Amino acid sequence: MDLTLKIWRQATASEKGKFVEYQVHNISADASFLEMLDVLNEELVRKGEDPVAFDHDCREGICGACSLYINGRPHGPDKGITTCQMHMRRFKDGETIVIEPWRAKPFPVIKDLMVDRTAFDEIIQAGGYVSINTGGVPDANAIPIPKRDADTAMDAAACIGCGACVAACKNASAMLFVAAKVSQLAVLPQGKIEARERVQNMVAKMDELGFGNCTNTYACEAECPKEISVSHIARMNREYLSAKLLSQKK
């Protein structure tokens, strides 16, 4: 198939960006979206032009690196998958595809379609862990955990940290990302001990980094490649409220 691509090009964080139009030809319908971009980049290199920079790595939907905003939607038109899992059979011959980076203030553009998502690491560093050291822990079966809770924790833990939720949200809110981690650890006995401090510290860090508020449009859930449910946001809100009410150290 032949396609017209309108791609956001921006040389560095401080320079102004713009859309540039490219044509690609003879793309196989079985190629993945990123393989289509590989074809374009090889052509650009051969012509002596600067190839398009984009983040990617595992190309099987788990590392969370790929982050393209395709035709106005994070990770493109399909539900429940990352950009790298989308295949060109999803598009029509002759179609024009618009490709942009994530647009959110806390995710500044580095180059072209690459953005800086270190804000997510900072949120995890604010409390997204259980404060135990290596060694000296009880036997893995010492604390039975109801299957239902373990499954809920796994649902939340499936987050790949790609940032689609932020890109999808009109307020650039990171609530779904933060809630996924808070929720995972809040339902497990291992995480309960620090649950109060955790939710408060992570939410404070999220606010400090400039992520917006949640206004319950659920765009995050709709665009999440791992289909993480907004019910985790509800759990986080409960955790946050009760932590605030019960917190002694305010």
Residue list 194-213, contact with other proteins (CB under 8 A): none
CA distances from 147 to 150, 154, 213, 233 (A): 5, 10, 33, 21
**By the rule CB under 8 A, 146 interacts with other proteins:** yes
Residues 75-104 that bind other proteins (CB under 8 A): 80-81, 85-87, 89
Task: Choose one: 95-103, 118-126, 231-239, 242-250; the region binding other proteins (CB under 8 A).
Answer: 118-126
Q: How far apart are CA 189 and CA 20, in angstroms?
A: 52
What is the sign of the dihedral through the CA atoms of 182, 186, 188 and 194? positive
Q: Is 16 in the site for other proteins (CB under 8 A)?
A: no
Within positions 22 to 41, which residues make up the interface with other proteins, using CB under 8 A?
Answer: 27-28, 30-32, 34-35, 38-39
Q: Whole-angstrom Cα distance, residue 33 to residue 139?
A: 45
Q: HEC states along 28-74? A: CCCCEHHHHHHHHHHHHHHCCCCCCCCCCCCCCCCCCCCCCEECCEE
Residues in 46-75 that interact with other proteins by CB under 8 A? 46, 48-51, 53, 55-65
- 121 near other proteins, rule: CB under 8 A: yes
When asked if residue 128 is in the footprint of other proteins (CB under 8 A), the reply is yes
Q: Please report how close the Cβ of residue 134 comes to other proteins at its closest, in angstroms.
A: 4
